[in-house]
Structure 1
Amino acid sequence: MNRLFSLLGLTFLFSSCSTYYVSKLNSPDLNKNDETGVFVFENDSVQVTYNFFGENAPVTIDVYNKLKEPLYIDWQRSALIVGDQATSYVGDNLVIKGRSLSTGSSYRTFDDWRTSLSEGAFAGTATVPQSLTFIPPHSKIKQTKLKLANLFYENIADSSYRSVDLATIDGAMRKIKVRNYTQENTPLTLRSYLTMYVRDDKTEKTKRMVFEQNFYVNQVSKLGISPANLLSFKSKRGDTFFNKKTKGRGVALVTAAVAIGTLGYVANERNETARSID
């Protein structure tokens, strides 16, 4: 039985193989809502908010049109710049699945009119042209355009973190590793470049507006439990995102082997017990 518990302990050890990196963002250009963590830009024409909450920092952009005329966002001429690498906000893939139904010619029998029908399934992927977004006067849109795939946290030395205690949702305290940054030594910078314009229907002339906002990571926390277990993570702040790093296939194979060995040991122990009873 002691051997069984040892094997189960090994299984647990090898299966706990995910590390989470929780990052916080700051901006030298934008105001940040203290309660929600959402970044806000505002002038006489528009209000733009940025929310990065979630896995791999999904960039969710809200744009409110304050004008009395329609506003257009030109995503083709807009981009997210990570470091010095620009990625266009345009180019979403749409997975298409469904069933087709077509009606053929009608003909009459002695009883009634009959119509021929044909049915079939289809599937595929298409690129949806979303280069322009139309915003009517005094209304807003909300779109999540990109996710961040940059593995910047892998370059942070483990010795540079400091240990702090954070409360979990069940009231316990867990030690996690934290490192703070300034704009000068941050491991990651982001820059959002948005192009918008208004169009005069009478003259058909357009007036272009360009907005550029900067962000940088000012804190990284490293932990061995899901951030969903942290009390501070429950508010889903817009300045917070996380990345998950899972160890390779080898660990999974070892875990599977240990689990199979454990099951084999349990079966063998049961057989030995049965023999002793007989």
Structure 2
Amino acid sequence: MKRITYLLGIMLLFSSCASTYFFSTIDSVNKETVKDEQGRLITQNDSLDIYYSFDGSDGPILITVYNKGKEPLYIDWKRSSIIIDDMATSYIGKTMVLSGSANVTTIGNSFYSNTSSQSSASLNGAITKEPESISFIPPNSKIEYKTMNLASLNFNKVDNNIYNKRTNVDKNGNIVPVKAASFTSGDAPLRFRSYLTLYKDPQKPFSMEQEFYISSLIKTNRIHPSNMSSFFSESSDLFYSKAK
């Protein structure tokens, strides 16, 4: 009896310590945007291709632009933004961590004595580093630009009643129970736009805008992101976040 009680206690301890994760799939509102085999969301025209990827923790936004034209193409990141809830945030601006130390020796030089002392100090903080605001793309070439994360999404606010019980498969082939929900662009818990300013001639800029939303959400405390099947972990349209 004591052994059974002990085992139940261990099980309760691990279940209470288990973290809840949300796995979100991104789709596009725009009909002209397609999704490739890697899960990248692609917008194309005669002169360029724009790829969006979101895979990773908290949805890091990776933008790839391929210049198919015969002339150089430029992207002005300072005039490009992600727009969430009508709030525009420029893609430019990153933070660098600053740390270091210093040793200082002080020498006294008076008429009566000649003494010295040594002290040390450490420096920690952060500085804002602004990357190049303009990207140059030669003809028939591409650039990749990794920006901020979608992050700061509190999926705990999503009504539990919208989830359905499903099963998923982890990378070891084990069948695991999860909760899942699907959304349209109208009722999604997150909908956002990406606005890019581009030009060949600085006097004639043009814009490209794509709109995205979360089309499905998986909630589980049974699968850690590192234990997801490769179908999910390698898909560019899926990101994960830890319950806040």
Q: Give the superposition deviation at 1:182.
A: 0.9
After superposition, what is the alpha-carbon deviation per residue over 1:176-210, rounded to whole angstroms, capped at 9, x for unaligned?
Answer: 000111112111101000001113xxxxx632120
Number of equivalenced pairs: 219
3-state DSSP class of the match of 2:177? strand
Are residues 169 and 206 of structure 1, via their aligned partners in 2, closer, same or farther at CA, if it must alter by over 3 Å? same
Q: Give the superposition deviation at 1:14.
A: 3.3
CA distance in 2, matches of 1:175, 1:10: 18
Contiguous gaps of at least 5 residues in structure 2 = 102-121
Contiguous gaps of at least 5 residues in structure 1 = 100-120, 200-204, 247-278
Q: Give the superposition deviation at 1:154.
A: 2.2
Are residues 88 and 22 of structure 1, via their aligned partners in 2, closer, same or farther at CA, if it must alter by over 3 Å? same
Q: Give the superposition deviation at 1:92.
A: 1.3
Q: What TM-score do you get using the length of structure 1 for normalisation?
A: 0.71
After superposition, what is the alpha-carbon deviation per residue over 1:91-141, rounded to whole angstroms, capped at 9, x for unaligned?
Answer: 012345689xxxxxxxxxxxxxxxxxxxxx987634134211111222110
User: Who is 1:228 aligned against?
Assistant: 226
User: Who is 2:59 aligned against?
Assistant: 57
Q: What TM-score do you get using the length of structure 2 for normalisation?
A: 0.80
The structure that is helix-richer by fraction is 1
Q: Give the superposition deviation at 1:172.
A: 1.6
Alignment of 1:1-278 (within 5 A): 2=3, 5=7, 8-16=10-18, 18-29=19-30, 30-33=33-36, 35-95=37-97, 125-199=127-201, 206-224=203-221, 225-231=223-229, 233-245=231-243
- 2:225 partner amino acid: P
Root-mean-square deviation (CA, aligned residues, Å) is 2.4
CA distance in 2, matches of 1:245, 1:185: 21
Task: Find the structure with the greater CA-based Rg.
Answer: 1
Are residues 165 and 232 of structure 1, via their aligned partners in 2, closer, same or farther at CA, if it must alter by over 3 Å? farther
Are residues 70 and 244 of structure 1, via their aligned partners in 2, closer, same or farther at CA, if it must alter by over 3 Å? same
Are residues 6 and 27 of structure 1, via their aligned partners in 2, closer, same or farther at CA, if it must alter by over 3 Å? closer
Task: Verify the 8 A CA contact 1:228 1:234 in the aligned structure 2.
Answer: no
Task: Verify the 8 A CA contact 2:92 2:130 in the aligned structure 1.
Answer: no
Q: Give the superposition deviation at 1:68.
A: 2.2
User: Who is 1:262 aligned against?
Assistant: none
3-state DSSP class of the match of 2:78? helix
Are residues 153 and 126 of structure 1, via their aligned partners in 2, closer, same or farther at CA, if it must alter by over 3 Å? closer
Are residues 209 and 173 of structure 1, via their aligned partners in 2, closer, same or farther at CA, if it must alter by over 3 Å? same
CA distance in 1, matches of 2:8, 2:216: 38
Sequence identity, in percent? Answer: 37
- 1:128 partner amino acid: E
